[in-house]
Amino acid sequence: MIESKIKVLRKAAQVSTTQSSDKIWCVIAGNEEMVNNVAYAAISSKERVKILFREHVNLKESYVRKKFDFIMLYGDTHKIRELSLICKENGGSYIKIAPYYVEKEPNLLLLVAPDTSIKKLAGDAEKANIKFSFILEDKTTGFIETDVYLTDRLPQFVRKIVDPLFKMTDVILSTILISVPGEDIEKIKQVANDNKVFVVEFNKILEDE
C-alpha cells in the first residue's frame, strides 16, 4: 500500500508544479552549507524572493545525531528555479508548491525527515487508518550530516574506533507534501511527532503572509 501511494506521488510530481504561476512557494532541505548558499542567494535577490522561515534540526537516535536544515521561500517562479538548481547541484531536496495545489488540496502539511522516518510515519498512519494523500516528494541525492553525541562517555581509544563508523552512516532526507482531511490533521501530527518528523501546516503559512 505504501509503495503504491509513493508511485501515485511520483506521477503527480511529473505534473508541472508552476502551472504558469508568476509566484510559487518552495521548500529546500539538506545540509547546512547548501541551505546557507540558497539563503545567501535569496537574500541577494530579496526583491524577487523572500525567506518565510528557516529551521535547523537535530534528531537524536541511539548514539547518532542527524543534522539538517530546511528553508521555505516564496517568490518569482524563475528565481525559485535558480535556487532549486543550487539545491540539486549540492545534493539537496526541494519541492515547488504552486497556487494550483493550494486551491485544489485541503489542509496541506509539509513533512521533512530522514527517509526511514517518513516511511515509518506512512506505515503507522496506515495502521491507524489515518487518511492522507501524497502530493509531492523529493529526496536528497547527497547524505545529511551525522555525528555521535554520546561517545564522550566512552574511553578515548574506543571513541577513535566508533566515531568514524557512525559518521559514515548514509542518511537520505525526504521532503514531502501531503493533504489530510480536517478530522485527521491532529492524528497525523501526533504520528509525525512520535516518529520525529518535522511538520509544517501550510495553511498557517498562508495566514501569516
- Show the domain range for 10: 2-208
| CATH classification at residue 36 | 3.30.70.1150
Query: Of 55, 136, 51, 153, nearest to 98 (Cα)?
Result: 136
For each of the chain's 209 residues, which pLDDT tens digit applies?
444 444 444 444 444 444 446 899 999 999 899 999 999 999 999 899 999 999 988 777 666 777 889 999 999 999 999 999 999 999 999 999 998 888 888 789 999 998 888 999 999 999 999 999 999 999 988 766 676 665 556 566 555 655 555 554 567 889 999 999 988 999 999 999 999 899 998 877 775 55
- Please name the residue that has the C-alpha cell 487508518: 129
As for how many domains the chain has, the answer is: 1
- The cell numbers describing 3, all together, are 509503495
- The cell numbers describing 120, all together, are 515509518
pTM of the model: 0.77
